[in-house]
Amino acid sequence: MQKVKFQDLGLMPYQEAWDYQEAIFKGIVNQKSANRKLPESEQQDTQDHLLFCEHPHVYTLGKSGDLNNLLINQARMDEEHIEFFKTNRGGDITYHGPGQIVGYPILNLDHYFTDIHKYLRYLEEAVILTLAEYGLKGGRSKGETGVWLDEGLPTARKICAMGVKASRWVTMHGFAFNVNSNLKYFGYIVPCGITDKAVTSLNIELGRELDMQEVKEKVKGHFTDLFEIELI
C-alpha cells in the first residue's frame, strides 16, 4: 500500500502554499527524471503528498481563463483585502477563502494509474461520498469538472471546484470544497467562467455551520479508500 504524507497547513497565504507545492512537485519530477538514467537497483522512489489548507481571500485564474470573469477592479479588491493570482493550473477563475477546504494532492500517478481523467473523477468522488454522509446527493455535470448539487436542473449549483496541473504524471493544485464559505466573494467573479449555474456551500445546504475538522476527516477517509493509500 502506497504511503502518502499528509499535512494540514492551516490558514496559509496562496503564494506561500503555491511555492510549497512547487518545491514538492519539482522534487518528484526531478527524481523521476534522474531515475530514468539509473539502473533499477539504484532508482529512488518518490514520496507522494496530500496537503490541506485554507487561504485568506484570493481569486486565482487558470492558464486558459478569461480575465473578464473577474468583475471587480484592483481598488475594490484592495478594499475587500482580496489577492489575485494567475496560476499554472487548468480551469478558469475561482475563489478561495476561510471556511473552504483546499486539497492539494501531489501524487506520482505511476503509483496508481496514468489517467488524468480518472484522477479527476477520484477527486470528485471523495467529495461526493463526503456529501452523502451529510444526506446530500452530489454529482457531476457533463463537460465540467467539480461536484454539483441538482446537476442537470435549473437549480444546479457547484459546491466543489477543481483545477489541476500534471507533468510527467505528477499532479499539483487540486480541489476547493465550500464548507463554511462566505458566498459573497463568488459574486465578484464568474466562477469557473460558468454564467448559468450558481455556487453553494455545505453550511448553506444544511442550514448550520460545520466542524471543519470533521469534514476534513471524512474527505481524507474517502480519498484514502479510493486511492488505496495509507496517510502518514
Q: Which of 93, 192, 199, 219 is catalytic?
A: 192
- Beta strands 100-106 and 48-54 are antiparallel
Cβ partners under 8 Å of residue 178, min gap 6: 99, 100, 159, 160, 199, 200, 201, 202
Q: What's the Rg (C-alpha) of the chain?
A: 18
Q: Is 53 a catalytic residue?
A: no
**C-alpha grid cell for residue 9?**
497547513
- Helices 116-133 and 212-227: angle between axes, nearest 10 degrees: 140
DSSP string of 45-96, one letter each residue: PPPEEEEEEE-SSEEEE-TT--GGGB-S-HHHHHHHT-EEEE-SSSSSEEEE
The Cβ of residue 16 has, within 10 Å, a number of other Cβ atoms equal to 12
Residues 1 and 231: their CA atoms lie apart, in Å, by 10
Q: Where in the sequence numbering do the catalytic residues fall?
A: 192
